[in-house]
Amino acid sequence: MIKPSMINAKGDGIKIHLASWEGKGKNVIGVHGLTANCRCWDVIAPAVAPKHQLFALDLRGRGLSDKPPTGYSEEHHLRDLKCIMDDLQLENTLLMGHSLGGYISMGFAARHPERVAGLILIDAGGDLSQEHWDRVAEAIKPAIDRLEMIFPSVDACLDLMKQAPFLQPWSKEIETYFRYDLTEGSEGVRSKIQPKHIREEVSNKRETGAGQYYSKLNCPVLILRATEGILTPDDILLPDHAVQKMMNDIPNARCVDLKGTNHYSILFQPNIVRDREISAFLDALD
């Protein structure tokens, strides 16, 4: 595992924390999912760095970034991302987003096409019905429920996470990810994320349709799709009809199915095809 250095940048009136894997080529920004943090990219990082530079942010309210009492929506994240790129003086950047991070990345690329050279959507970006969002919400409920839990120790939390079937096989990268998320207080050990912030985020996300962005994506887009559901076959994040709409409406998109992966393993487990596709996509960009 390549260890990143840690830096801070200016968000929209707040401090945003980032992990940075040094590289000499293109600048890549990794944007994580709803209850995640910057260390979710540890497994994928070697497919990017050191050939290219990878920055991975903690979204506001997550990890070591500031946690304002309110302001959790796609609009807030887009403003943070623009401020980060301004502060770090990043132009012609590639965005790589998983889950919620994919929607944020897509929204930014649609609004600021002059600043985005390419887009990688990892199990993200589908224009889903409210009914399908309900199935997804049920599937990710354990990840959200965890935020409410208080543990007597870090090891107690890790012991519970090790039992999750969608996190198998367990690895040092997954353990690093969860350890980074935890903080110790007077009551015990819990996530750094405040559940009320995630509830605000979820409420706002349902009001943001992804399809509005498709025709505005002028850069090359790589879609990496998990083929398995999280808890059931019906809670897949990118069902066939959603992918077909993306391929029809996004001008320059390519989709690759990563067989046997689910919404979590597509990110947390080694995958030769995934890494090869990411590396080739980066190399092909001007």
Give pLDDT tens digits for 69-119: 999 999 999 999 999 999 999 988 999 999 999 999 999 999 999 999 999
State yes or no: pLDDT of 207 exceeds 60: no
The pLDDT of residue 204 is 80
For residue 80, give the nearest of 28, 125, 14, 19 by alpha carbon. 14
Instruction: Judge whether 269 and 172 are in contact, CB under 8 Å.
Output: no
For residue 19, give the nearest of 265, 196, 1 by alpha carbon. 1
Average pLDDT over every residue of 158-177 = 94
Q: Is 70 exposed, middle or buried (0-12, 13-18, 19+ CB in 10 A)?
A: exposed
The pLDDT of residue 142 is 86
List the domain boundaries for the chain.
5-284
C-alpha atoms less than 13 angstroms from C-alpha of 16 in its C-beta half-sphere: 30
CA angle (31, 33, 36) in 5-degree steps: 100
For tokens 């605000």, the residue is 200
Pairwise pLDDT comparison (225 vs 137), residue with the higher score: 225
- Respond yes or no on whether the N-terminal peptide bond of residue 270 is cis (omega within 30° of 0): no
Helix axes 172-181, 154-161, angle to 10 degrees: 130
Question: Model confidence over 230-275: pLDDT tens digits?
Answer: 888 888 999 999 999 999 999 999 999 999 999 999 999 999 999 9
Ranking 17-26, 74-83, 163-172, 237-246 by mean pLDDT, the lowest is 163-172
Return the bridge partners of 31, or none. Answer: 57, 97
Residue 54 identity (one-letter amino acid)? L
Q: Which two tokens stand for residue 243?
A: 């992918």
State yes or no: pLDDT of 213 exceeds 70: yes
Residues in the chain: 286
Topology classification of domain 5-284? Rossmann fold (3.40.50)
Report the C-alpha gap between 275 and 271 in whole angstroms.
6
Cα dihedral 240, 242, 247, 248, rounded to 10, equals 110
The pLDDT of residue 133 is 84
For tokens 């995934």, the residue is 274
Instruction: pLDDT band for 208, please (50, 70, 90 cuts).
Output: low
State yes or no: pLDDT of 129 exceeds 90: no
Instruction: pLDDT band for 202, please (50, 70, 90 cuts).
Output: confident
Residue 273 identity (one-letter amino acid)? V
What rounded mean pLDDT belongs to the chain? Answer: 95
Q: How far is CA 225 from CA 75, 126, 177, 277, in A?
A: 25, 10, 22, 12
What is the pTM assigned to this prediction? 0.96
Average pLDDT over every residue of 190-201 = 95
The pLDDT of residue 166 is 83
